[in-house]
Amino acid sequence: MAQPLEITTESLKATPPAFVTALYMGGMTPADWVTALTLLYLVLQIGLLIPHYVRKWKRWRNRDES
């Protein structure tokens, strides 16, 4: 009988290739997924930077009014 830890470990090892195969069979090549994930990453980074720069601009504006 296989140990639960061994089953989990082997399942985790097989997950990335199975995921890529499923995506490829779904109609998107790995290059398409890299492009989509890169665009998602850029959107998230921009979304994080906008509030940072808005706070900076507000502090700069309030300092000039004083």
What percent of the chain stands above pLDDT 70? 95
Q: Which pLDDT belongs to residue 49? A: 93
Tell me the angle at which helices 30-65 and 4-25 cross, rounded to the nearest 10 degrees. 90
Q: Which pLDDT belongs to residue 44? A: 94
Of 43, 49, 22, the C-alpha closest to 33 is 22
Mean per-residue pLDDT for 42-46? 95
Cβ proximity of 24 and 33 under 8 Å = no
Q: Which pLDDT belongs to residue 17? A: 79
What tokens were used for 60? 């700069």
Structural domain span for residue 44: 4-65
Q: Quote the number of domains for the chain.
A: 1
0.75 cut: is pTM over it? Answer: no
Model confidence at 28: pLDDT above 90 = no
Q: Say which DSSP state 2 is in.
A: -
User: Is residue 59 packed enough to be buried (19+ CB in 10 Å), middle (13-18) or exposed (0-12)?
Assistant: exposed
